[in-house]
Amino acid sequence: MTFSIIPAIDIKGGNCVRLQQGEFSKETIFSDLPELVAEKWVSQGADKMHIVDLDGASSGQQKNEVVIKKILKKYSNRVSIQVGGGIRDLDTIEKILDQGASFVVIGTAAVKNPGLLKDACAAFLGHIIVAIDAKNGKVATDGWSKLSGHDVIDLAKKYEDDGVEAILYTDISRDGMLSGINVSSTVKLAQTINIPVIASGGISGINDLKNIMVKESEGVTGVILGRALYEGKIDFKEAKSLIDDLA
């Protein structure tokens, strides 16, 4: 197993953006051509990418399908791409996988429609990742706009039993804030389950990256990088060389 650095491409209104703590009113547009952003990360050596339809996440159905389909068509034969946001039914999952995605990321639907997740894992075993977005140990849904009463670890154990491939764990309070990743909560989750955990939210620089990379043996197998990459706090090639050294 090799630790993965995964650039995030968050798409809203057709643009590549970053939000602060999931707030749609606090967006920064980094590019109006997400396909060029994808090209940048692929050319710099990314072997995985994380694409989110933010409009889809809040509305419950894909809104940036055309852009995402373009990226999948051009790069899915070169890198592993995971796609999330607004995925609420089996047909959409099948369509995204058919378009070239390696994984589909299910968030809100996993909480609100557990039967769908079970069916998805049965139909597309090995291709389903669940995103657990949390604040103070409780799971958020609907593009992070609603806080549920579900406990992170309890849900993660249930998802593991359902057969998901990995858990993508985000501490909402840190996401887009460059305030440092929540290493302790991420590791605690990873130690509790036997499937991989991908960390997300708050990476501000190389030191944060180093702090989470060394937790690979605890079950943290990768990290999503967003604002830190886009604002130049982390150089992707430098980060990639750290991983190569670790391997």
Tell me which residues are annotated as active site. 10, 133
Per the structure block, which two tokens stand in for 168? 């993508």
In this structure, are residues 229 and 7 in contact, taking their beta carbons and an 8 Å threshold? yes
Report d(CA 41, CA 49) in Å as an integer: 8
DSSP string for 47-92: SEEEEEEHHHHHHSS-S-HHHHHHHHHHHTTTSEEEEESS--SHHH
Report d(CA 64, CA 58) in Å as an integer: 12
Give the chain's count of helices (H) and strands (E): 11, 12
Per the structure block, which two tokens stand in for 28? 């920064």
Half-sphere exposure of 63 (CA within 13 A, CB side): 17
Report d(CA 232, CA 214) in Å as an integer: 22
